[in-house]
Structure 1
Amino acid sequence: MHQQKQTLRRQFIQQRQALAPEVWQMHSDRICDLLANCPQFIEARTILAYQSCRQEPNLNSLFKATDKQWGLPRCVGKDLLWHHWQPSEPLVTGEYGILEPSAELSVLAASNIDLILVPAVAIDFNNYRLGYGGGYYDRLRADPDWRKIPTIGIIFDFAYVESLPIEPWDLPLNAVCTELGLSSWVTQLSC
């Protein structure tokens, strides 16, 4: 299964990186518009997001929502540490070449989070995510305090597929947003 996932990752990342810059930005802006009008986004006060890398959907236009508090991840060992961040604050290049908030910014606890916007390589129609293979989001969502926070997977529509290989520890997301729409909201049982 590991080899199958690696092959799928390569294919989807290559397809994403082949998008013309203007198409990538247009699709990213459409995703941001859909999210901005989503009830779960509107009601959320503190939202965890990400900085686009390898031509993931760009969420920068969402960060202009001045009534929101934002959190961005920083890779620390095998975990994600979430820091309070505002768009006016500079970012630094982290261990994997991803822009991250400064380690000096305050850390956010799960109890303060209303919504998580989750990057992915691909997501299937059952809301299972194919990530980059580091397990950061799997470990985060395995923690009962984090598992109960609503999640929306963010991808381009070509990476929203019928099925993906899944592992026993994989947890489905609550919803998926592509440039073509937002999937129906799924409520998972808390474990």
Structure 2
Amino acid sequence: MNKNEKRKEIKQKQSILSPEYCHFADKAICNRILSLHEFQTADVIFCYISMENEIDTRPIIENAWMMKKKVAVPKCTKKGCMELYQIHSYEDLEAGKYGIPEPKSKCLPVPPNTIDFAVIPCLSCDLEGWRLGHGGGYYDRYLEHTDFITAVVCRHQLLSESICHETHDKRMNIVVTEEIMRFL
């Protein structure tokens, strides 16, 4: 099955997940991320701003702020490319490309070499750390020349047995679902 066929399959599975399951899974996944030594010891975290159907990252971001960590979030700069900017509150966000909340222009850029830990979204992933995104390549391009620890978050019911991957795809260091946490 190619990536586009897999995306269709996962989106179909996603559409029938109950709100109760999603709420339970998201809470458990966030708690697992917050318990990670890699999160606890990080000074600068990179985390996506969740959209509808994605795992709700607000508890991760809010806990990072409470712990006085720097929070860097993505901003699309051109097709297929993104950069990270520090936010201090949700007031630092505005609607960006594709309706995704992005940092306002007043926010300061965060260089990749300063990031300690990242929470990465997916439509699905496998237990080997390969992720299936939406197909824009934003995360793969950004992560290509980085070496910070990455944790991909996925609801267990959307986990795949195997994700086909290409040479430009970057394998994640940690896979986190509500049921498992796997270090690679």
TM-score, normalised via structure 2 length: 0.91
- In structure 1, stretches of 5+ residues that fail to align are 187-191
Residue 74 (structure 1) aligns with: 75
Q: Which residues in structure 2 correspond to 1:151-162 (within 5 Å)? A: 151-162=150-161
Q: Tell me how far apart the structure 2 counterparts of residues 149 and 139 of structure 1 sit (CA, whole Å).
A: 14
Identity of paired residues, percent? 27
Instruction: Give the distance between the partners of 1:53 and 1:20, measured in 2 at CA.
Output: 17
Query: Is the CA contact (8 Å cut-off) linking 2:74 and 2:102 kept in structure 1?
Result: yes
How many angstroms apart in 1 are the aligned matches of 2:101 and 2:14?
19
Q: Deviations over 1:105-143 (max 9, x none)?
A: 000001211011100111112111111111111111222
Q: Which residue of 2 aligns with 1:180?
A: 179
Residue of structure 2 equivalent to 1:133: 135
**What's the offset of the Cα at 1:88?**
4.3
Counterpart AA for 2:106: E
* Candidates 95, 98, 103, aligned match of 2:100: 98
Question: Does 9-18 or 96-105 show the bigger shift?
Answer: 9-18
Of residues 84-93 and 160-169 in structure 1, the stretch that sits farther from structure 2 once superposed is 84-93
Give CA-to-partner distance per residue, 1:70-116, whole Å, 9 cap, x none.
Answer: 11101110311101012342421111121111122000001211011
CA deviations on 1:162-188 (whole Å, 9 max, x unpaired) are: 2111112222100111111211x22xx
- Runs of 4+ off more than 6 Å: none
Which amino acid in 2 is paired with 1:142?
E
Aligned length: 180
SS at match of 1:89: helix
CA distance in 1: counterparts of 2:111 and 2:155, whole angstroms = 29
Asked if structure 1 preserves the Cα contact closer than 8 Å seen for 2:47 and 2:61, the reply is no
Equivalent pair of 2:92/2:107 in contact (CA under 8 Å): no
Task: Tell me the residue number matched to 1:89.
Answer: 91
TM-score, length-scaled by structure 1: 0.88
Segments of structure 2 that go 5 or more residues without pairing to the other structure are: none
Task: Deviation per CA, 1:132-161: give whole Å up to 9, x if none.
Answer: 111111111222xx2x11100011112222
Letter of the structure 2 residue corresponding to residue 164 of structure 1: I
- What letter is aligned with 2:73? L
Contact preservation (8 Å) 1:63, 1:87: no
CA distance in 1, matches of 2:126, 2:41: 26
RMSD: 1.5
Match of 2:55 among 29, 54, 57: 57
